[in-house]
Amino acid sequence: MATISQNIQQVRERIAAACARAGRPVESVTLLAVSKTFDADCVRQAHAAGLTRFGENYVQEAVHKIEALGDLRDRLEWHLIGPLQSNKTRVVAERFDWVHSVDRPKIAERLSAQRPEGLPPLQVCLQVNISGEATKSGLAPHEVSEVARAVARLPGLRLRGLMAIPEPTGDLEAQRRPHRALRELWQRLREEGLPLDTLSIGMSQDLEAAILEGATLVRVGTAIFGRREVLRG
């Protein structure tokens, strides 16, 4: 059974190969390790293997890990990538560095108002329901421009880009289509003057397709930590 360190090396090799195929420098893609349902010791092992950015889906579970890894706080970057309810915005504004799942103005307004003075701006992405799935969170593509402009004006936040979780498929070309649609939307917003630099797409099963379509950040969990058991908190 491979170790977390060995898994990270394999993921880095996949990223490098995809970047080479896309004609992109490997430095243009950031690896975010999705540590949801894995304990603080797993995060510590991944950090020892060179990772500094970790993504969590469940706020309370993440807070437990942030506290357990308090000795590494200034060396770790914590990203919330799961749905965010209004009653959890304060703790997220106080504890996290990034939020990828802003999907309505109310959430952004609360994060802005609750971000403590003295902390750097909270880095945020807008989540887009790029595949139009009824069960998925996220803004419809036609809503994004207006919401992006509103979020970009809020103090205490810095709008960085767009995030999506496309419908899973096993075919590379089918995987590329929703990633391409999100990139094209991201590029239009940039052309409209929004200073976006982050395209958060691609996971363990489709990171190659995402990189071919311009992903700047890939969110990888299973390929680093292994299969998950359900853990909520």
Residue matched to tokens 């103005």:
105
Q: Does a structural domain hold residue 185?
A: yes
CA distance 207 to 61: 26
Q: Does a structural domain hold residue 187?
A: yes
Q: Does a structural domain hold residue 233?
A: no
CA distance 192 to 209: 26
Q: Does residue 221 surpass a pLDDT of 50?
A: yes
pTM metric for this prediction:
0.95
Q: For the domain that residue 128 is a member of, what is the CATH number?
A: 3.20.20.10
CA distance 184 to 179: 9
Report the pLDDT value the prediction gives residue 61, as an integer from 0 to 100. 97
Q: Does a structural domain hold residue 186?
A: yes
Amino acid occupying residue 83: P
Q: Does a structural domain hold residue 232?
A: no
Amino acid occupying residue 219: R
Query: For residue range 78-112, what is the model confidence (pLDDT) as tens digits?
Result: 999 999 999 999 999 999 999 999 999 999 999 99
Total number of domains constituting the chain: 1
Average pLDDT value for residue range 158-174 = 94
Instruction: Answer whether 178's CB lies under 8 Å from 131's CB.
Output: yes
The parent domain of residue 51 ranges over 4-23+30-225
Q: Does a structural domain hold residue 231?
A: no
Q: Does a structural domain hold residue 230?
A: no
Query: For residue range 45-55, what is the model confidence (pLDDT) as tens digits?
Result: 999 999 999 99
Q: Does a structural domain hold residue 174?
A: yes
